[in-house]
Structures are given as C-alpha cells and as structure tokens.
A and B are shown apart, each in its own frame.
Chain A
Amino acid sequence: MELLAFGDTGWGDELFRATLMTIAVSITAMIIGFLFALIFTPLKLSKNKFLNFIANSYTTIIRGVPELLVIYLFFFGGTGAVMFVASIFGYNEYIEINAFITGAFAIGIISGAYSTEVFRGAIQSIDKGQFEAANVLGLNKLGKFFKIILPQTLRLAIPNLSNVWQITLKDTSLISVTGLVEIMRQSYIAAGSTRDPLFFYSFAAALYLLLTFVSMKLINRLEVKYSRGY
C-alpha cells in the first residue's frame, strides 16, 4: 500500500494524474474522431464514386493497419510534416510538437474510422419514409437533419459508439511509446524505479477496468435517454 501513497513517498498522486491524462487523451481523441466522421460519413453516403473511394480508402486503411504503426507514423512523421509546412512560410527552426497533440491526433484518426462506419450504418438503417415525411412537412435541410435524422441516428449509433469509446480508451495505452505520461507510461516508470512491475501493471489494468466500467454505466444512461419512446 505504501507504493500507492500520495506525495513523495509513493506513486498515488502520479498515477492519479496519469489517469486524468488518459481520460483527457481519450476524450480529445474521441472528439477528433467525431470531426473526422463528420467529414467522411457524408462522403461514404455520397453518390459520387470518387468521394466514395476517398472515404472507403480512409476506413479500410485505418482499420487494416495496426494502431501502433499509425502512431509511429505520427510520432516520427509529425514533426517532419509540421516543419515542412513551417519552412514554406519561412520558419526553419526546429519545432517539437507536443506528445499530447500527436497522440490524440493519431488515436483520433483511428477512432474516426470506426465512428464513420457506425454513423454510416446508423443513417442507412433509418427508414426512407422518415426522409420523405420530413420533406412533406416542409422542413429545410438543417431542420430535417437536426430534428428528424440526427436524433434517430444517435439512438441507433450509441450502442456501437460505446464500443468505439472502449477501443479508443484502450488504444490510448499505445501512446505511452511516444513518452506521454498516461497510465501505461506512469506504470512503466514506477515499475522501473521500484522493480515491482507485477504490482504496477496489475494496478494499471485495474485502473483501465475501472474506467471502462464507469464509462459503460454512463453510456447506458445515455442509451436510455435516446431510446425514449421505443
């Protein structure tokens, strides 16, 4: 138990901060993923073959290539890409991008591919009559989307999005390879300095289990909220 004490003697406060970091990275990545889904879902549903091809390449590549490889691409390639863009604007100094941003972005792109598939499936399973009824009611495009389509999409999408959240949360453990101090990295540091890897990695597993458990409870509430009337 002393190993988990708060303050200088134990690892309690460090692990607590690391847990907050894991939550922060997961939420940021999930939001970035939603933004990607917002761009790619319409492309997937579009009738234009070229736009379809772009969206399909995105989801196929991301879902067929290991997460770790994508993270390495961003970790090693991110700095280079940013410096290249900066050099166009005449800035030639070394730029180091924040591990949090690189990590959240890499996981966000992965999470976005899964979210895109979820939203595509949800929109496609909405009854055609709903779109027609919205037209008949004379709603404009925005009204149709926000009042009719989105609420129904959310009801269908939430169970699958909760899976995407679980995947995203667990994927953040891979960012530890870039040095961002989240649960996994902090456990690695603690295990190295106390020579007690069994305890710290088991504790990390327990923390992840707690996070998935609590978030599932919260998502279940959302699910209930959005399935009112069914």
Chain B
Amino acid sequence: MDLELMINSFPKLLNAAVITLKLLSVSLIIGLFIGLFFAILRLNKNIFINRFAYGYSYVFRGTPLLVQIFIIYFGLGQIEYLRSTVLWVILKEPYWCAIIAFALNTGAYTSEILRSAFQTIKPGIIEAGKSLGISNKVIFYKIQIPIAIRQSLPAYGNEIILMMKGTSLASTVTIMDLTGVAKYIISTTFKPIEVFIVAGGIYLFMTFIIHNVIKFLEKKYSFN
C-alpha cells in the first residue's frame, strides 16, 4: 500500500469529482424534461406518437451508453452540413457531446419510470378532480404530476445512481472527470489498487448521499 500516493491523489480526485457532479446534474435536469415529454407522448392514444416514443426509449435502453457517446462525439462531426450550422459550437465540445448523450440516455429511462407512475394513478382520483369542476390542465399539473413524482421517486433514485456511474464514460471522450483522472494517475504510477480505493471511495460517498436524499424525499412525500 502506497499511503502517500493515496493522500496526494485525494485532492486531485476530489476536484475531478466536481466535474462528475456537474456532468450528472446538468444531464439529469435536461433528461428529466426529455423524460417527461416522452412519458406524455407514451400516454397519447395516437398510435404513431405512441410508437415513436416507445421506439426512442427502446433504442436508448437497448444500446450501450458508450455507443451513444461515440455516435454523437465522433459520428455527428462527420456530417458536413452540421459543421456549418450554429449547432457545431456545441457539438465540437466533448463536454456538451457527453451531456447530450447522457441526457438522451437518462431521458429514455426516466420516460419509462414516469409512464408507469402515470399509469398507476387510480382513475378515481382524476374523476374526483373532474367532479370538483377542475379543468383538465389543472388536474394534470396539480394532481397527476405530484402523484407521479412521488410514485417514481424510488425508481428515479436508482436511475440517478446509475447515471452517476454512467458519467464515468465521459473519460472516453477526453473529459477529465473522476474516472478520467483516476485512469491518468493509474497509468502514470501503476498503482491501480490505491487509486481505486480513493476514487471508488469518493463514488461510494456520492452514492450514499444520493441514496439518503432520495430516502428523505420519499418519507417527506409519502401519503402517511
């Protein structure tokens, strides 16, 4: 055990963890909107809209995240037309490519979580709203969405943790996140176990925090 290396690499890895958290939070926020959008499409009765939303979630859940990042980072740059548009400002940055891939990926999983949450809402609750003379729009925003959020909290908590692990793939497109820096230190010192303990410890700590925050929210929003 090289204790000195562990102590020396701790601040570097901690700095890198900030980038991991940035990647995570930005992609979760964008992903939540994408997920909500596609969950609503999934509840639509029009078969084409329905199928389209299902296809989106099927493709993104059935392929590895690594392929998705590579298609966006290496693949899209190949299209000449894209290079001439404003989008290129975003797509030439590995940071934004990673975030787009993460957001689309977590959006697919989130849409499934929210869809099943919407579907478990008892029709009686919506009918009760209608009988009180509340408009459909208000029923959706004030009744269906809050119940769906509460229903989906446990599954969404798992998704946050999976996504945090997913952000480690940003290191494959040159971003120096926690895993990226860990790999760099390992490949320069050839001390994989020490670095793994420190970097893994930081990841576990973040998992622990997320887990407890979700648990707290679950309690706060529970019916009883």
- Could you tell me which A residues sit within 8 Å of B by CB distance? 60-61, 63-69, 72-73, 76-77, 80, 166, 170-171, 173-174, 176-177, 184, 187-188, 191, 195-198, 201-202, 204-205, 208-209, 212-213
Contact = CB atoms under 8 A, between A and B. Distances in A.
B171 interface: yes
B25 interface: no
Interface stretch (B40-48, B124-132, B186-194): B186-194
Interface residues of B, number: 40
A197 B74 contact: yes
A191 B59 CA distance: 21
A198 B71 contact: yes
Interface of B is mostly: helix
B168 A69 contact: yes
B146 interface: no
Most buried by B among A73, A80, A212: A73
A205 B63 contact: yes
Contacts of B71: 197-198, 201-202, 205
B62 A72 contact: no
A69 B182 contact: yes
Given A69-B182, A76-B192, A201-B71, 4 more contacts: A76-B187, A80-B192, A166-B62, A204-B67
B152 interface: no
Contact of B200 (A65, A80, A184, A204): A65
Interface stretch (B75-83, B85-93, B107-115): B75-83
B30 interface: no
A73 B165 contact: no
A73 B196 contact: yes
A101 B20 CA distance: 30
Contacts of A209: 58-59, 62-63
A65 B161 CA distance: 9
B204 interface: yes
B106 to A, nearest CB: 15
Interface in B169-224: 169, 171-172, 179, 182-183, 186-187, 190, 192-193, 196, 199-200, 203-204, 207-208
A117 to B, nearest CB: 12
Interface in B30-79: 58-59, 62-68, 70-71, 74-76, 78-79
Contacts, number: 112
Contact of A64 (B62, B167, B179, B207): B207
A173 B66 contact: yes
Contact of A72 (B58, B59, B192): B192
Nearest to B70: A201
Nearest to A213: B62
A77 B64 contact: no
Nearest to B75: A198
Contacts of A174: 64, 66, 169
A65 B196 CA distance: 10
A73 B200 CA distance: 10
Contacts of A204: 67
The interface centre, meaning the residue of B75, B199, B203 with most chain A CB atoms within 10 A of its CB, is B75
Contacts of A187: 67, 70
B134 to A, nearest CB: 38
Contacts of A201: 67, 70-71, 74-75
